[in-house]
Structure 1
Amino acid sequence: MTGVPGGTGVGWRSGIAAVLDDVDGLAFHEVVAESLHPDAVPASLLRRPVVVHGVRLSPGSPEGVDPGRVAHLAACAAATGAALVSEHIAFTRAGGVEAGHLLPLPRTREALDVLVANVAATRPELDVPLALEPIAALFDWPDDEFDEAEFLHRLHDRTGAPLLLDIANTYVNARNRGRDPRADVDALLTGLPPGAVAYCHVAGHAADATGLLHDTHTDPGPDAVLALLTHTVAQLPVPPPVMLERDGRYPPAAELCAELDAVAAAAGHASPCRTGADSGHGAGTVTAPAADGTGTT
């Protein structure tokens, strides 16, 4: 068990904190570790259970994880009483060079060994479970030995680490490669034991001039992603916790609440915005803070 409360959550961002304070039915917040100082945790964040989400640990780096970054994740988890820490199946640095973005791993035995070793080095420093998120990637390495589902199955078999399944990432990756997103979900979930999915992300995307889809977090989640969420939930024995990611270009409060309610409905959860327009959400506005974290998550 990961300890993430069931229901619908949202990524906590300072620009929408005041609006989120008024949404009584939210189950949890996720906070980006790199945006948080453990000695100055905002009171608004602590109104609900917390998941700490890292973006710069770089568990795919052959040189190993940075002890300082591991310590920061642990300190953030302790300061917020987090139920879970999550990170990405990716690397952000190699050879001492910081890329500033989440980069995909080659799905090879060697890369899997590196990832397993770095997970093993990280977990003893944390007092809570560590979940791992497959990223949205615009390319695959030419020397891949496994498809994504087999790679993730092998990772789970060797580490026991639960997955943070980003529905938007799954949708974007499948569409960009000409595959059926539902078939990709089915391939991933088939063979995973119950409880292997800790929670899910939902976010929006946008297409570039070439038609490639990019995971943006600045657009509302489209109906196709919500439909994929419903399909995913139907494959699992218990509806997982689901979290909306928004990073910048925040809509008016009423629109944000409508988006949260749409995510909850797609996941089979109760509406987080229980009182709807009568609560005064429609009168609020949200402001855009500086970007949190590295790339999209």
Structure 2
Amino acid sequence: MNTAVRTVPALGDVGLGWRSEIAGVIADLRPGFCEVIAESIPIRRRTARPDPALTELVARGVPVIPHGVALSLGGAEPVQAARVRRLAACAEALDAPLVSEHIAFVRAGGIEAGHLLPVPRTREALDALARNIARTRAELAVPLAVENVASFLEWPESDLTESEFLTELVERCGVLLVLDVANVYANARNRGRDPHRELARLPVEQVAYSHVAGGHAGDDFYHDTHTARTPREVLDLVTALRERVDVPFMLERDGRYPPAVELFDELDQIAEAAGVQPITMRAREVWT
């Protein structure tokens, strides 16, 4: 295992994406951390007003990370100041150890895509990302981590591999990563590549945490839906990543929420794959 010193905020071993639909289930656990979609938190007079269930988690010592989906860091246009202020307000209200966003763009020329679109892996795209990351970090009081996305298309003009692109981005910007192993699996499968070889090429020293999720396999495409149980292939990537670096993992679920017992079982499977204590056992021991 990599024992190098990592300059990332400390989180628990296994976390869970906070959604209002499963807020009661999360309250019965002691997750290592939670992540909440920043745009789901109401803002009034530039002050974030999180759900009381979220502030209760924070009061009980659970780190909660605002996760943005609308900054459009990878867009050619500058990030919008109001959206950066929203992210900063969410971090302040939740006493967050860091915030996260995506290596993607969601708008161009005033048109909203409604989806996280992958950026071309070019020097020009790196320049645009670097500028927007710098603008965003200048307004944040906590570190920023950026996430690799599942790509539904491959830009023909890309001249860097994904590992080269992410490595240069980290080195150039000094930014943290949210390494989504489910997205690594989806991209590798859809491109006819070995996901373990793809993972082995990625920079892991500055990974703040890793996303884990399930998807749906169609006739010719794997969709990263976050609405199904984490497949064994993704759990194997959890193990492979943990063998390289001591990184926390977080389950994403965005629909078709299972009964609590099934969700607990999935979290424990992730913990087992990572070689850490089951989250439900920790909840019984600590959550009072």
Q: TM-score, normalised by structure 2?
A: 0.90
CA contact (8 A) 2:14 2:33 kept: yes
**Unaligned 5+ runs, structure 2:** 1-6
Displacement of 1:4 in angstroms is 3.9
Displacement of 1:37 in angstroms is 1.9
CA contact (8 A) 1:29 1:45 kept: no
Q: From the superposition, tell whether residues 276 and 110 of structure 1 become closer, same or farther in structure 2 (CA, over 3 Å).
A: closer
Aligned with 1:199 (options 209, 217, 230): 209
Displacement of 1:43 in angstroms is 2.7
Aligned with 1:132 (options 146, 155, 164): 146
Aligned with 1:256 (options 235, 259, 263): 263
Equivalent-residue separation in structure 1 for 2:185 and 2:64 (angstroms)? 26
Aligned with 1:146 (options 160, 169, 179): 160
| Higher RCO (C-alpha under 8 Å, 6+ residues apart) | 1
What does the per-residue CA deviation read over 1:69-104, in whole Å, with 9 as the maximum and x for residues that have no partner?
A: 001000000000111110000000011111000001
**Unaligned 5+ runs, structure 1:** 278-297
Is the aligned partner of 1:232 residue 2:241? Answer: yes
Q: Give the aligned partner of residue 57 of structure 1.
A: 71
Aligned with 2:32 (options 27, 31, 38): 27
Q: TM-score, normalised by structure 1?
A: 0.88
Displacement of 1:276 in angstroms is 8.8
Equivalent-residue separation in structure 2 for 1:152 and 1:3 (angstroms)? 20
Equivalent-residue separation in structure 2 for 1:272 and 1:243 (angstroms)? 11
Displacement of 1:267 in angstroms is 1.3
Equivalent-residue separation in structure 1 for 2:100 and 2:26 (angstroms)? 22
Aligned with 1:43 (options 27, 49, 52): 52
CA contact (8 A) 2:74 2:132 kept: yes
Cα RMSD (Å) of the superposition?
Answer: 1.4
Is the aligned partner of 1:18 residue 2:24? Answer: yes
Is the aligned partner of 1:241 residue 2:248? Answer: yes
Equivalent-residue separation in structure 2 for 1:226 and 1:241 (angstroms)? 13
Displacement of 1:268 in angstroms is 1.8
Aligned with 1:181 (options 195, 198, 211): 195
Q: Give the total of aligned pairs.
A: 269
CA contact (8 A) 1:11 1:30 kept: yes
CA contact (8 A) 1:10 1:28 kept: yes
What does the per-residue CA deviation read over 1:205-226, in whole Å, with 9 as the maximum and x for residues that have no partner?
A: 1022x32001001101011100
Q: Give the aligned partner of residue 111 of structure 2.
A: 97
Amino acid at match of 2:85: A
CA contact (8 A) 1:61 1:114 kept: yes
Is the aligned partner of 1:267 residue 2:274? Answer: yes
Q: Give the aligned partner of residue 223 of structure 2.
A: 214
Q: From the superposition, tell whether residues 67 and 276 of structure 1 become closer, same or farther in structure 2 (CA, over 3 Å).
A: closer
Displacement of 1:45 in angstroms is 1.6
What does the per-residue CA deviation read over 1:158-181, in whole Å, with 9 as the maximum and x for residues that have no partner?
A: 101011000100000001001000
Equivalent-residue separation in structure 2 for 1:198 and 1:276 (angstroms)? 23
Amino acid at match of 2:230: G
Q: Give the aligned partner of residue 282 of structure 1.
A: none
CA contact (8 A) 1:62 1:114 kept: yes
CA contact (8 A) 1:106 1:144 kept: yes
Displacement of 1:275 in angstroms is 7.5
CA contact (8 A) 1:87 1:133 kept: yes
Q: Give the aligned partner of residue 287 of structure 1.
A: none
What does the per-residue CA deviation read over 1:3-40, in whole Å, with 9 as the maximum and x for residues that have no partner?
A: 2413100000111011111113x111100001112543
